[in-house]
Structure 1
C-alpha cells in the first residue's frame, strides 16, 4: 500500500520501517558509530562519518518524510531545527517576519544572532499575518496554532500571499504535529517541529526536524547541519522513532480529553477566559476546522491574577507544573512567569495528557475550588 493512502494510525506505526525480512527484527537498534569503513573514493559508501549521516537518522528521516510529504532533516532540538532554517536561508540585508506572539526563543535567537549580522526582523501577531505587505520580505516563519494563545492563520491563504511577493513560508507545526496539520500540502515551503513535545511524547528526549518538498531548500539545510555539526545522537533518534509509532493513539486520547477539559473550564466561574480552537466560540475555530485534523491538546485559560494561578497550580495534584507540553502527563504552567510572553499574569497553558479525563477534570475542579470566591 502506498504510504499516502494509509490511515494516520497505520502510517505512524510503519513510518520508516524496512520491508519485512525473514529472521530480521521489526526495527533496527540505534547505530553507535563515529566512523565507518570507507575504502577508495569518498563517495563510495552510503555512510562515511557520523557528522554527515547515520543509519538510525536515515530510518527516522524516511518515516517523517513519508508523513510530511517532503524530504526531512532531523536535529538535536526544536531550536536547532529553527536555527538551521534561519541561519542557512538568510543573508545580510534580507528581511524575516516572525510571530510576535509565538515561541519566545525563536525571536530571541533572531534578535541575538541574525539582527547583528544585518538581517531585518519584522514581528507580526498571528491574527495580523494576512493584513501586511510582504513585498520586501524574504522569509516568513510563523507558528500556528500560536503558543500560548492558540491563534490560527489560514496557511493556504498566507502561502499564496507570501509567494506572490517572492518570499518563502515556513511553519512551526509543533503544537499541531504532522498528524494534526499538513503545512506542505497547504502550500508552505517548509514544515518544522520541536519533536521534544508530542511527536516523541514521553518527556524524555529533546529533538526536532525540518521538512520540505523543495530539494534545493532541504539540501541547504542539510549542508548547514553537516558543517555546523548540529547533529542528533543515535539513541535519541531511535527513541523518537519509537515514540512516533504511538503518536496517533496518544493524540486521539489527548485531544478528546482537551475538548472536554476546555468545555469544563469555559463554564467555570473562576475562569476569566479560555482559548481552545475546538470551542465553537473561539476566534480560531473556523480556520482550525478547515485546515486541522484535530484541535490539539493544549488549552490556555486565564485566572486573572498571578497569585490565583499559582494557588491553582499548587493545589493541582495530578497536573505537573512544567515548561513543556505534549507528554503523556498533563502539564501546566503560568506563562507570564518567564517575562517573555505578552500575556495575562494569570494565564495558564495546560497540556492535557493521556490520563482518564474524569480524573483530570476532578483534579482541576478541586484546584479551582481553592481560588473560588
Structure 2
C-alpha cells in the first residue's frame, strides 16, 4: 500500500512515531549532550551528543523513507552535507565534475579546498554533464544538481547514471530544488542524494539543516564517521523543527508548485519580462526531460528583467514579495542572483513561490510590474 500513498500521506507517515501506548504522538526533541553509560559499556547505545541523538535518528529515518534510501545522515546545513560527502568520496588523484551553473559555493569549495589537495576539478554546464561524465574513470565523482540553481536546467539523470556506472564513477545528485516529492534521483540511478533541508523540507525560513541519503553501506558509514570526527552536526532542536515541518511538506510543496506554474505562465507573456525559465512550461528547453523524470516541476521560477534596478523595483512595489536569499519557504521570495556571483544577467531573479493564494500572488506581481 505504501507505494500508492499520496505526497501528504507519505510526508505524515515518514515522521510518524511508533504507536506505543502512553507515548506522545509527536515526540519532543531530545537535546542531550551526555547519556548514562551502562556497566557493560555498550557503545551501540546513545553515549555522547556528537555521536548519537534520538531526534536525529527519527529525522534520518523520515528522510531515508522520502528519498527511497536505506540510510540518511543529517548535518548542520546543506553545505555541511556537501562538503563532508566530498571529503569522503573525492580522493586525491581523481577527478570531480561539478556543475558550472549550479550552486556557486559547491564550485568554490571544490576549487579552494579540494583542488589544492590533489583533486582535479572539472566544471561542466548541466546541459553537458553527460558529456563530461563520459571521460570519467573509476573512483571519479560526478556531482549534478537538477534542476540547477538558479538557471533551472534539468539533467537527464537516467542517462547520466548509465554514463557513470560502467566507468566506475560515483554519481551524487543535489535534490534540493526538486525535493524528494518532486524527484527520486536514487530510483533513476544516482548513488547518493544530497540536499539542503533548510529549503522546502524545513520550509519556514527559521532553521539550517542538510542531509545525504543513499544505499551504499560503506559510503554512508564513512560519512557518519566523518560527521563524528569533524563535528558538523545538526542540533537536536533543529532536527526536531525539520521533522515537525516534514509532516506538512506535501501540502506546502503542492501549493508552491501550483503557484510557480501560474506565475510562470503569467510572466512568459509580460512585456517587462525578457525571459522565463520553469521546467513546467511546454516551451522550456528542460521540459521534455523534466516531464520524464520529475513528478512535480518545483516551486522556483527564473525570470530575467531589464536590469538590477527592475528587480529591486519589483520587490519594492510588491505587497507580498520578500527580498531574500534561500528558497522553499512559506513566503514568496525574490533573489537577484548576480549579486552572489552567479553567471547570470544583472536582471535575473530567482522567484521562490510560497504558499500564498495563487490569485493574490498573480495580482500582486502584475501590479508591481505595471509601468509607473
Q: What TM-score bracket applies, with the shorter chain setting the length?
A: over 0.9
Q: Which residue of 2 aligns with 1:367?
A: 368
Q: After the TM superposition, which residues 185-196 of structure 1 pair with which residues of structure 2 at under 5 Å, given as runs?
A: 185-196=187-198
The match for 1:345 is 346
Query: What is residue 262 of structure 1 aligned with on the other side?
Result: 264
In structure 2, the residue matched to 1:24 is: 23
Gap runs ≥5 in structure 2: none
Task: For structure 1, list consecutive stretches of 5 or more residues without a partner in the other structure.
Answer: none
Do 1:312 and 1:370's aligned partners in 2 also have CA atoms closer than 8 Å? no
Structure-2 change in CA distance of 1:90 and 1:41 (3 Å)? farther
Tell me which residue corresponds to 1:62.
Answer: 61
1:87 and 2:82 equivalent? no
Residues 237-316 of structure 1 mapped to structure 2, 5 A cutoff: 237-316=239-318
Q: Quote the offset at 1:367 in angstroms.
A: 1.2
Matches within 5 A, 1:205-216: 205-216=207-218
| 1:44-85 Cα distance to aligned partner (Å, 9 max, x none) | 542111111100001111111111121100011000000111
SS state at 2:17 partner: coil
CA distance in 2, matches of 1:177, 1:356: 21
- Counterpart residue number, 2:5: 6
Corresponding position of 2:333 = 331
TM-score normalised by structure 2 residue count: 0.96
Please state how far the C-alpha of 1:329 moved relative to its aligned partner: 0.4
Give SS of 1:185's match. Answer: helix
- Conserved? CA contact 1:73–1:210, under 8 Å: yes
CA deviations on 1:113-153 (whole Å, 9 max, x unpaired) are 11111111000000011223333470011100001110001
Residues 313, 333 of structure 1: 8 Å contact kept: no
Q: Say whether 1:124 aligns with 2:144.
A: no
* RMSD (CA atoms): 1.3
Q: Verify the 8 A CA contact 2:95 2:136 in the aligned structure 1.
A: no
Comparing 132-141 and 218-227, the one that deviates more: 132-141
Contact 2:277 2:302 in 1 (8 A): yes
Mapping of residues 161-176 of structure 1, within 5 Å: 161-176=163-178
Count of residues paired in the alignment: 369
Aligned to 2:49: 50
Any conservation in 1 of the 2:144–2:155 contact (CA below 8 Å)?
no
Contact 1:311–1:370 (8 Å) recurs in 2: no
Q: Displacement of 1:16 after TM fit? A: 3.8
Would you say the 8 A contact 1:16–1:61 is kept in 2?
no
Q: What is the CA-CA distance between 1:343 and the residue it aligns to?
A: 0.5
> Quick one: distance in 1 between partners of 2:43 and 2:333?
49
Q: Which moved more, 1:41-50 or 1:299-308?
A: 41-50
Single out whichever of 32-41 and 186-195 deviates more from structure 2: 32-41
Is the CA contact (8 Å cut-off) linking 1:98 and 1:123 kept in structure 2?
yes
Contact 1:47 1:53 in 2 (8 A): yes
Measured in 2, the distance between the counterparts of 1:45 and 1:107 equals 37
CA contact (8 A) 1:94 1:138 kept: yes
Runs (4+) of structure 1 moved beyond 4 Å? none
Distance of 1:40 and 1:344 partners within structure 2: 64
